[in-house]
A and B are shown apart, each in its own frame.
Chain A
């Protein structure tokens, strides 16, 4: 909202909300305040990926001499985060950093937080744009989709049948990436690659395993599988590594280095990608601290320093993009531990 000054309704709200108007007026020269209390609210408290993200965020807050903490529900249902947001408002936190389970379910509570002068940053999964000031996006969806096709093409020599092993059929992230993968495949350099099937493993080990089997069995001349989900890629890797398809069918996608280390070393997987979740949290932590200190307000074009990651600029709709995903292969995988 704050980014597009044209929408009068949004800007009115922003000003109306800003009883603590100072928080909304950006002063690029302001110092980051010490002792900021910043809370990280993941989708669910024990999701390994979210835990890593929040570790990065808490590190950032500590670097800035603030107090970071992680609180959250044990299930990722749409409404489970609301009571946590309300508690954080009562505790008068300076900033809330949240991975929204549902863009709309958390919106009223987040708006309430903003009206009380609390900075609200979303990461990983966005809330309704008028319910937060900044969204820290792991990577540009378009770039993820397109780079996955390139990874696969490089491994299969630019021709052959490929399939996708996704999460659930209605997973927003995966569907967006797949849309861009399909678009990328229409380019002339990929004309010899044919996407024959999209399977859904529902982010369940057993189901992903069986779907991978199904793909390999039903498409005898399959050259490669792209699995843009950490559960899918590891289940598929586990299956391929112990089957006759090892070495014959290429597998790439999005996975964590620790999870895939074994399969890169035994030759099942050549190269895969992921953004660095710790850096994602770290960036969100800096964005939250900068917001809470009044250095930025979430408007397009504002810039801020994010510690070791350097300077970032806020894009359209208050969105910041962490950067391109990192590719992992046998040469560099041991440099990463997450």
Chain B
């Protein structure tokens, strides 16, 4: 953080790269099928990326601090299931109560992860791999204890389903929620002291501690905030799909981590932005939508997804090497 200006322009460069890739995919798909970029087409692209984008914001906060949360799929499943259960108890429950309950439960799950990581000092990879199974197990146990394996659209109020499928001024509600969260976290990360400290922790945890940064507390808070966002994502999933069972979100953690990495957040912490993570999510979901239109056979889609991830990481790596060289050169000039 010696020369923030050069770093910031570097970040803009990385995000620009994702935007270029995104445009390339959209242009290719639009040439193949002009309706890809119709009003409905754009609406769908944003809608598809909204939930995964929201999860990517939370995940980016953690990855920036050199942590990771693999339990996001399970937390999302648990909170989606909670929203359904709440409506089974009382279908007239105000939607906001359910949203807050989902965020609350997500934050509690995040606090459990955070406490184990920050206080008990267990590596996040191991903690969240464990809670991935624990939270999913609770979800299953809850489903079988209440004998409610599936909660369906007709059991939820129309107002709640409208939250998932409706739009304001042509922008899907879910996209608006993600954009608001993105704006708030991007501002906080960039301008608040605590936000900057997350980068310091990720760059060098020991140095951060010696510099007087309360690393434990910051990491714990990042887990709680990320958990709350995942909880919100779970409620959004329930409103969006209208069918919930105990396996909602299974395997989602890898898609989220992929979005964050493609979005240019360094997996070893210390750099990256939440905007990049959201763009990464948008890029990956857009690729998924574009592949069938480009005529890629279904059997190959997964492989293409993975290849896209590898390309993104390679480009990112090449960029980082160049950046490191430039920083070294600048330092040499300063010393001379």
Partner of A45, one of B140, B242, B243, B292: B140
Smallest beta-carbon distance A285→chain B, Å: 19
Q: Known: A217-B36, A261-B154, A263-B153. Contact between A210 and B48, CB under 8 A?
A: yes
B210-266, CB < 8 A from A: 237, 240-243, 245-248, 251
Smallest beta-carbon distance A328→chain B, Å: 13
Chain A residues near B248 (CB, 8 Å)? Answer: 205
Partner of B140, one of A74, A211, A261: A74
Q: How far is the CA of A263 from the CA of B150 in the complex (A)?
A: 16
A168: nearest chain-B partner, CB-CB:
B298
A244 at the interface (CB under 8 A from B): yes
Chain B residues near A261 (CB, 8 Å)? Answer: 152-154
A48: nearest chain-B partner, CB-CB:
B149
Smallest beta-carbon distance B155→chain A, Å: 8
Q: In the complex, are the beta carbons of A238 and B153 less than 8 A apart? A: yes
A146 at the interface (CB under 8 A from B): no
B94 at the interface (CB under 8 A from A): no
A215: nearest chain-B partner, CB-CB:
B292
Q: How far is the CA of A45 from the CA of B139 in the complex (A)?
A: 13
Smallest beta-carbon distance A114→chain B, Å: 30
Q: In the complex, are the beta carbons of B41 and A259 less than 8 A apart? A: no
Q: In the complex, are the beta carbons of A218 and B35 less than 8 A apart? A: yes
A282 at the interface (CB under 8 A from B): no
A216: nearest chain-B partner, CB-CB:
B40
Chain A residues near B241 (CB, 8 Å)? Answer: 205, 209, 234-235, 238
Q: In the complex, are the beta carbons of B33 and A218 less than 8 A apart? A: yes
Q: In the complex, are the beta carbons of B292 and A211 less than 8 A apart? A: yes
Chain A residues near B240 (CB, 8 Å)? Answer: 238
Chain B residues near A244 (CB, 8 Å)? Answer: 40
Q: In the complex, are the beta carbons of A217 and B293 less than 8 A apart? A: yes
Smallest beta-carbon distance B303→chain A, Å: 12
B165: nearest chain-A partner, CB-CB:
A242
Q: Known: A46-B247, A210-B48. Contact between A200 and B298, CB under 8 A?
A: yes
Smallest beta-carbon distance A334→chain B, Å: 10
A235-251, CB < 8 A from B: 235, 238, 241-244
Q: How far is the CA of A109 from the CA of B285 in the complex (A)?
A: 43
Smallest beta-carbon distance B154→chain A, Å: 4
Partner of A217, one of B40, B152, B153, B165: B40
Q: How far is the CA of A241 from the CA of B164 in the complex (A)?
A: 12
Chain A residues near B52 (CB, 8 Å)? Answer: 206
A199 at the interface (CB under 8 A from B): yes
Q: In the complex, are the beta carbons of A259 and B152 less than 8 A apart? A: yes
Q: How far is the CA of A193 from the CA of B140 in the complex (A)?
A: 43
Q: How far is the CA of A218 from the CA of B41 in the complex (A)?
A: 10
Q: In the complex, are the beta carbons of A258 and B144 less than 8 A apart? A: no
Q: In the complex, are the beta carbons of A234 and B154 less than 8 A apart? A: no
B147-174, CB < 8 A from A: 149-150, 152-154, 161, 165-166
Chain B residues near A211 (CB, 8 Å)? Answer: 292
Q: How far is the CA of A248 from the CA of B154 in the complex (A)?
A: 22
Q: In the complex, are the beta carbons of B152 and A199 less than 8 A apart? A: no
B111-152 CB contact bits vs A (8 Å, 1 = yes)? 000000000000000000000000001001001100001101
Offer 11 A-B interface pairs, CB within 8 angstroms, sorted by A: A46-B246, A48-B149, A210-B48, A210-B289, A211-B292, A213-B289, A217-B38, A234-B241, A259-B150, A261-B152, A262-B152
Given A209-B48, A211-B292, A214-B289, 5 more pairs with CB closer than 8 A: A209-B241, A218-B33, A243-B40, A256-B150, A258-B154
